[in-house]
Amino acid sequence: MGICEQRTVIITGAGGGLGRAYALAFAAEGANVVVNDIRHDAAAEVVADVVAAGGHAIANDGDITSLAGAQGIVDAAVAAFGDAQVLVNNAGVLRDRMFLSLTEEDWDTVMRVHLRGHFCLANVLGRRWREQSKAGQKVEARIINTTSGAGLQGSIGQSNYVAAKAGIAGLTLIQAAELGRYGITVNSLAPAARTAMTEGAMPDMVKPPEQGFDAWDPLNVASIVVWLGSTQSSRVTGRCFEAKGGELSIADGWRTGRILDKGARWAPAELGPVVERLIAESIPPQKVYGT
What are residue 242's DSSP bridge partners? 190, 249
> Is 161 labeled as catalytic in the residue annotation?
yes
What's the average model confidence in pLDDT over 241-259?
A: 93
pLDDT at 83 over 80: yes
Given the residues 148, 159, 230, 233, the one annotated as active site: 148
Please state, in angstroms and rounded to a whole number, the distance separating the CA atoms of residues 223 and 46.
18
Residue 240's identity, in one-letter code, is C
CA-to-CA dists, residue 245 to 74, 266, 284, angstroms: 32, 49, 26
8-11 sheet: strands from edge to edge: 56-60, 32-36, 8-11, 86-88, 141-146, 184-192, 240-244, 247-250
Q: Do strands 8-11 and 32-36 pair parallel, antiparallel, or not at all (unpaired)? A: parallel
Given the residues 159, 165, 230, 233, the one annotated as active site: 165
> Is 207 labeled as catalytic in the residue annotation?
no
CATH architecture entry for 8-250: 3-Layer(aba) Sandwich (3.40)
Given the residues 22, 155, 159, 161, the one annotated as active site: 161
> Is 66 labeled as catalytic in the residue annotation?
no
pLDDT digits (tens, 9 = 90+) for 114-141: 999 999 999 999 999 999 999 999 999 9
Please state, in angstroms and rounded to a whole number, the distance separating the CA atoms of residues 144 and 8.
14
Please report, in angstroms and rounded to a whole number, the separation of the first and last CA atoms in the chain. Answer: 47
pLDDT at 247 over 80: yes
What's the average model confidence in pLDDT over 80-101?
A: 96
Of 79-83, 120-124, 142-146, 281-285, give the lowest mean pLDDT range. Answer: 281-285
List the chain domain ranges.
Answer: 8-250
Q: Distance of alpha carbon 117 from its chain centroid, rounded?
A: 11
